[in-house]
Structure 1
Amino acid sequence: MRPAHDSRSIASRVFLVLLASAVVVGALVAVFLVVDAQRSAHAEAERVTAATSVSLASSPLVIDALATQEPDAATRVLEPYALDVIANADLDFVTIMTPDGLRLTHPDLDQIGGDYLGTIPDSPRTLTEVFTGTLGPSVRTIVPVLAADDELVGWVSSGVTIESISETLIRRLPLSIGITAGLVALGGLGAWIARRFTRGIAGDLPPGKVRDAVSSYESLRTLGDALRAQTHEHGNRMHTAVALLELGRSDEAIEILTETSRQSQSLVDQVTARQAGDPAVGALLLGKASQARERGIDWRVHIDPDTPASPLSPVDSVAVLGNLIDNAMDAAAAGTERWVEVVLRPSTEGGIVLEVSDGGDGIPSALHERVFTHGYSTKPTGAQGRGVGLALVEAVVVGAGGSVDLTSHPTTFTVVLPPARGRRTP
């Protein structure tokens, strides 16, 4: 059973891709904001605890109580002071202790007189850490309390629990969510605008149909150019022959008509000898021969009669071959050696090898990959410089399971197509 094809229009696909991109970007921004808020809350806790501990360690009240009073008397002085600081600075605890870590203050009165849970530095210095104490994990900063003679008389530790930091983070979440929702909404609006713009160009066609439409346009364009050139050439020759007949110069008239027939017959023989060929491709080659003669380009065609049927539809075949020939003619017309050669032969795998070469000045090696990019062209911007032809050639050939390569000396585009297994209708 063949898998069902996605029939969504290209406009809908553009909308879904852009909307999904907006959601992904929004999610990434949300993660960044949450992580940044968490980091900021942690850094803020470190700043507050450090500032509070330093201020308390410099307080004359704290220094005097630790330096001159017994522990019980110091507690009666310092405990109310510490509780006021906790309330005003929005901290979870302030612990003032003796040099050996005996608690003189604590939010839980039962913990007073116990040993401080945390790291006490070996020398008088400030230390900030995350440690699990009686109130759970917390960010805390411990600062030495020094007397006038720089004697260590105690320590001050201020802390904020991780739970409090998490609550702060939760309070900031609505802002992060709002920013994320705004970004997603803007992305959705951009996706909707892009959808309307794309629909104005491509309607409700799915991507495959859009590519087919471009292929059909390119096919009609190149075939039309070829047939116009052929009609123009034949018209000129017929007018000349009629004029010669009216002047009674029948021999010269017959010579012109015979030459016209002879020049076309060789190509006709090659085209008709290939039983599996497409009439549209034959008409294209005949028209391009006239176009080449109009532009003064030596036209060479070699078609192996054993070349099998193409896996491409007639429209795609004309679009591929026509665009390659058009590029080759433009290059040859601008070069010193004005010739174009087209070769059709069977591949070793039973498919088709198409080679289009020209005597132009060539394409720099650095640009070999870029020439297949949509919108890129080595020709001036204009009717013949759209940068669509080679991109379309690659899309059609690769879509059929084939490949297209570019080589130099001379410039040659080689298309290899797989064996036909039931061609797609245009």
Structure 2
Amino acid sequence: MHADARRVSAASLVFIAVAAAVVVLVALLALLLVLDAQRSARAEAEEVTRGVATSIAVAPSVADALGGDDATAVLQPFAEGIMAGAGVDFVTIMTPDGIRVTHRDPAEIGRAYLGTIPSEPVALTEEFAGTLGPSVRTIVPIEAGGGVVGWVSVGRTVGSIASDLLPRLPFVVVIVLAVLVAGLAGALLARRTTRRLAGDLPAGSIRDAVASYESMRTLGEALRAQTHEHGNRMHTAVSLLELGRTREAIEILTETSRQSQALVDQVAARRDGDPTVGALLLGKAAQAREHGVEWSAEIDPAAPRSVLSPVDAVSVVGNLIDNALDAAASGEPPRWVRIAFENAAPGALRIVVADSGSGIPDDLRDRVFEHGFSTKPAGADGRGVGLALVRSIVEDAGGSISIASAPTTFTAVLPARQP
């Protein structure tokens, strides 16, 4: 899958990612709109049943009919007319103990009401499965002479409530299609923009290009610092020679040679070292001295070479060191950076970079590797790219990277290159 991702152009991957996100969002939107329509339809059904039931309960003719000799003969036609005109599925008028006086199915008249009859004379709205199936119903007391003379229950079946959704579905479909078209248009625009910037390059090639840029940047900074330091020492030595102070000039040149040679000896002692990384370390040592940061490098002679290419290796090591130098230089004294190359048996290289900086807050630890996130000022070059690129390179190579505190320590473990 990883190989396929490297062959597919970055523009196509952007289109696929954006289009997939749009489809998911549109599906969620459609679901929310349907659920909202269902909620609205049920709320309307509750309001209708409550209003119709209340209107029937307060009608004096209903209470009078319940007190008569043949309530059904009077109230059944009355209930049927309300069912036809009010758009409800049933109107059941009953005695105080729940015996039906009217019903949609005349055969059910005289039988007990199926539903909850409140213990107090109050209105109650509920969903209950009666003779017509599940329905939303409201039961209201019919009062006369200071007491309850009967009850009226008005309801709509769940099926009829669901049928009310059909007129609303075209509106939902129009909204969903509009959002889908707009989202896909945005995906096409994102693909066109990406293609203008990267052509048809695969995503892996773009990452490699970024890694190459980062490698050249960090290596260029290291070499500039080394050249600057060497030039300063040479100018000082020449000035001392012109003043006849030969011994001091020799001491400066000797110290310069000794510091560089110590690191060269460590790098050269590795059985399978990377000369590009070695040159990077020499330059970074000079860069540390330029920032007033104490530099310490421990390189295990048995430490293997990682599977990374020289470009990726320089990008990983250089960015970790740059991050540590920035943190140490902005912190309180003593300021120091320590780097170690260790043999993480079996068959792995461990790179450890620690610094004396103020550390990374616990709530930001999981974000430092996110692309675009940085604790540096907004105007810093390469903001939010370095550590994100480091994690991408390390994980693509089958390795891992972690952060520890007190002191801040980045540890990258990479598979070793096979002989």
The TM-score with structure 2 as length reference comes to: 0.81
- Aligned 1:236-251 pairs, distance under 5 A: 236=232
Residue matched to 1:267: 263
SS for the counterpart of 1:386 is coil
Aligned alpha-carbon RMSD (Å): 3.8
Instruction: Give the C-alpha shift of residue 227 in structure 1.
Output: 1.9
- Residue 352 of structure 2 aligns to a residue in which SS? strand
Alignment partner of 1:171 is 2:167 = yes
CA distance, structure 1, for counterparts of residue 148 and residue 372 of structure 2: 79
What SS does the corresponding residue of 1:312 show, helix, strand or coil?
coil
Q: Structure 2: 5+ residue runs without aligned partners? A: none
Shift in Å, 1:200: 4.7
Question: 1:307-326 counterparts in 2 under 5 A?
Answer: 307-326=303-322
Preserved CA contact (<8 Å) 2:141 2:148: no
Can you list the C-alpha shifts for 1:151-174, whole angstroms capped at 9, x where unaligned? 62x543433233322211333332
Give 1:405-424 correspondences, 5 Å limit: 405-407=402-404, 411-421=408-418
**Using the alignment, how far apart are the partners of 2:52 and 2:274 within structure 1?**
89
CA contact (8 A) 1:362 1:409 kept: no
Can you list the C-alpha shifts for 1:261-319, whole angstroms capped at 9, x where unaligned?
44433333333333422221122123233334444544443433332222111011111
> What secondary structure sits across from 1:414 in the alignment?
strand
SS in 2 for 1:5: helix
Q: Does 1:337 align with 2:338?
A: no
Go from structure 1 to structure 2 and tell me whether the alpha carbon gap of 1:212 and 1:155 turns closer, same or farther (over 3 Å shift): same
Aligned to 2:111: 115
Q: What amino acid does structure 2 have at the position aligned with 1:268?
A: V
Q: How does 1:395-406 map to 2 (within 5 A)?
A: 395-406=392-403
The answer to whether residue 352 in structure 2 is matched with residue 355 in structure 1 is: yes
Aligned to 1:139: 136
SS of match in other structure, 2:268: helix
What TM-score, normalized to structure 1?
0.79
Correspondence for 1:223: 219
* Alignment match, 1:31: 31
Q: Cα deviations across residues 165-194 of structure 1 (Å, max 9, x unaligned)?
A: 221133333233333333434443444444
Aligned AA for 2:9?
A: S
Residues 90 and 154 of structure 2 are in contact (CA less than 8 Å); yes or no, is this contact kept in structure 1? yes
How far the C-alpha of 1:141 sits from its partner, in A, is: 3.5
Secondary structure of 1:276's partner?
coil
Does residue 40 (structure 1) correspond to residue 40 (structure 2)? The answer is: yes
- Tell me: CA distance 1:161–1:289, structure 2 relative to 1, closer, same or farther (3 Å): closer
Name which of structure 1's ranges 113-122 and 225-234 shifts more when overlaid on structure 2.
113-122
| Distance in 1 between residues matched to 2:236 and 2:120, nearest whole Å | 113
- Which AA in structure 2 matches 1:181? L
Work out the CA distance in 1 between the residues paired with 2:404 and 2:128: 69
Q: Number of aligned pairs?
A: 415
In the TM superposition, what is the alpha-carbon distance from 1:89 to its structure 2 partner? 0.8
Aligned-residue sequence identity (percent) comes to: 58
Matched letter for residue 349 of structure 1:
P
1:82-161 matches, within 5 Å, as 82-97=79-94, 105-107=102-104, 111=107, 114-115=110-111, 117-119=113-115, 121=117, 125=121, 126-131=123-128, 135-148=132-145, 150=147, 152=149, 154-161=150-157
| One-letter amino acid of the structure 2 residue matched with residue 354 of structure 1 | I
Distance 1:326 1:75, change over 3 A: closer
- For 1:120 and 1:3, the matched residues in 2 are separated by 62
Give the aligned partner of residue 52 of structure 1: 52
Range with bigger deviation, 50-59 or 335-344 = 335-344
| Higher radius of gyration, 1 or 2 | 1
Gaps of 5+ in 1: none
Residue of structure 1 in register with 2:4 after alignment: 5
Evaluate the alpha carbon distance shift between residue 227 and residue 81 of structure 1 in structure 2; reply closer, same or farther with a 3 A threshold: same
